[in-house]
């Protein structure tokens, strides 16, 4: 396959950016999208040009590092991570636009790399269960109904990639935040901190500059792990419940 890539280039956080065009040839449909970018970068290095910076690590769809907007879609045309997108999803001769996540809360570091530290700070605000090492009771001391365990797992699958924010016209992090709130809130182990968790995480989310949610649903459509849209409604319910319970 022969392709034309139009790639966002930006030297640093404060530098101006632009779309640059590159031709790549000899692309196999078995290549992953990132392997196609590897091919471009090998050429750029040999030509003495600056290769395109992009985040990637496990390349098996679980670490959440890769983060490209491809032809306007977070992670591209398939519902998966960028690293699991293969070139068989494209046609010979295509022109493909490649951009970083675009959101006020995710400033560009370089080219296609953004800073997602805001996600870490939302977790730090309360996305945990306080259980210092050594303090745990026997694992079978508390049974967890299978339906609750499955619900927790479904939300715990979030990989923190940020596609939900990139896809949202408001740059909202509601899906990310709700996934953790719901994972921990449904478990008996997580119930003592159920109210403080949702209040603190939502407050932090707002402080980080993420937009509000208007239920467009783009987040859940882009999510490579299928975190469901009702997750947001469940978090809103949790938040209201916590607020109504009164001062902490």
Partner 1 sequence: MSSYAHHTTGEPVADTKAPQGPIAERWDRRRFEAKLVNPANRRKHTVIVVGTGLAGGSAGATLAEQGYRVVQFCFSDSPRRAHSIAAQGGINAAKNYRNDGDSVHRLFYDTVKGGDFRARESNVHRLAQISVEIIDQCVAQGVPFAREYGGLLDTRSFGGVQVSRTFYARGQTGQQLLLGAYQALSRQIAAGNVEMHARTEMLDLIVVDGVARGIVARDLITGEISTHYADAVVLASGGYGNVFYLSTNAMNSNATAVWRAHRRGAYFANPCFTQIHPTCIPRTGDHQSKLTLMSESLRNDGRIWVPKAKGDTRPAADIPEAERDYYLERIYPSFGNLVPRDIASRAAKNVCDEGRGVGPGGQGVYLDFADAIRRMGRDKVAEKYGNLFDMYERITAENPYEVPMRIYPAVHYTMGGLWVDYDLQTTVPGLFAIGEANFSDHGANRLGASALMQGLADGYFVLPSTINDYLARHPHQDAVDDTHPEAAAAVREVRDCLAKLLSVDGDRTPDSFHREIGELMWEYCGMSRTEEGLRKALARIPEIREEFWHRIKVPGSGEEFNQSLEKANRIVDYLELAELMCLDALHRAESCGGHFREESQTPDGEAARRDEEFAYAAAWEYQGTGAAPVLHKEDLVFDYVHPTQRSYA
76-95 residues in contact with partner 1 (CB under 8 A) are 78, 80, 84, 86, 88
116 binds partner 1, rule: CB under 8 A: yes
Q: Sign of the CA dihedral 3, 169, 105, 178? A: negative
Among 4, 91, 95, 124, binds partner 1 (CB under 8 A): 124
- Applying CB under 8 A, which part among 68-76, 126-134, 166-174, 238-246 lies near partner 1? 126-134
123 binds partner 1, rule: CB under 8 A: yes
Contacts of 209 (CB under 8 A, 6+ apart): 104, 105, 118
DSSP states along 200-217: HHHHHHHHTT-B------
Residue in 58, 78, 62 with CA at minimum distance from that of residue 70? 78
Instruction: Please report, for the chain, how many H helices and E strands are present, in that order.
Output: 8, 7
Residue in 193, 167, 170 with CA at minimum distance from that of residue 180? 193
Q: Smallest gap, in angstroms, from Cβ of residue 232 to partner 1? A: 20
98 binds partner 1, rule: CB under 8 A: no
- The Cα diameter of the chain in Å comes to 64
- Applying CB under 8 A, which part among 16-24, 38-46, 205-213, 227-235 lies near partner 1? 38-46
208 binds partner 1, rule: CB under 8 A: no
Using CB under 8 A, count the residues that bind partner 1. 77
34 binds partner 1, rule: CB under 8 A: yes
97 binds partner 1, rule: CB under 8 A: no
Angle between helix 194-207 and helix 174-185 axes, rounded to 10 deg: 170
Give 245: exposed, middle or buried? Use CB within 10 Å, 0-12, 13-18, 19+: exposed
61 binds partner 1, rule: CB under 8 A: yes
CA distance 126 to 103: 23
Q: Smallest gap, in angstroms, from Cβ of residue 216 to partner 1? A: 26
Q: Smallest gap, in angstroms, from Cβ of residue 217 to partner 1? A: 22
Q: Are 75 and 82 in contact (CB under 8 A)?
A: yes
Q: Which of residues 147-166 bind partner 1 (CB under 8 A)?
A: 149, 152-153, 156-157, 159-160
Q: Which of residues 214-243 bind partner 1 (CB under 8 A)?
A: none
- Applying CB under 8 A, which part among 93-101, 134-142, 214-222, 228-236 lies near partner 1? 134-142
Among 23, 91, 92, 115, binds partner 1 (CB under 8 A): 115
189 binds partner 1, rule: CB under 8 A: yes
Contacts of 114 (CB under 8 A, 6+ apart): 55, 67, 100, 101, 103, 106, 107, 108, 162
Q: Smallest gap, in angstroms, from Cβ of residue 20 to partner 1? A: 15
207 binds partner 1, rule: CB under 8 A: no
Closer to partner 1 by Cβ: residue 170 or 189: 189
């Amino acid at each position: 396959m022969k392709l034309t890539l139009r790639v966002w280039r930006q030297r640093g956080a404060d530098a101006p950016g632009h779309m640059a065009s590159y031709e790549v040839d000899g692309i196999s449909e078995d290549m992953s999208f990132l392997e196609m970018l590897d091919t471009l970068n090998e050429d750029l290095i040999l030509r003495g040009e600056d290769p395109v910076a992009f985040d990637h690590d496990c390349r098996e769809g679980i670490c959440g590092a890769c983060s490209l907007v491809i032809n306007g879609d977070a992670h591209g045309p398939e519902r998966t991570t960028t690293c699991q997108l293969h070139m068989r999803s494209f046609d010979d001769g295509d022109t493909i636009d490649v951009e970083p996540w675009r959101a006020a809360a995710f400033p560009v570091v370089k080219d296609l790399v953004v800073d997602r530290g805001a996600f870490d700070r939302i977790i730090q605000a309360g996305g945990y269960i306080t259980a210092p090492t050594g303090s745990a009771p026997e694992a079978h001391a508390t049974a967890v109904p299978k339906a609750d365990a499955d619900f927790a797992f479904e939300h715990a699958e979030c990989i923190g990639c940020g596609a939900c924010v990139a896809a949202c016209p408001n740059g909202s992090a509601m899906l990310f935040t709700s996934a953790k709130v719901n994972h921990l809130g449904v478990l008996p182990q997580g119930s003592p901190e159920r109210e403080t968790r949702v209040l603190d995480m939502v407050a932090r989310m707002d402080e980080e500059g993420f937009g509000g949610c208007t239920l467009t649903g783009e987040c859940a459509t882009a999510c490579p792990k299928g975190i469901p849209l009702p997750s947001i409604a469940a978090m809103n319910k949790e938040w209201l419940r916590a607020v109504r319970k009164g001062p902490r």
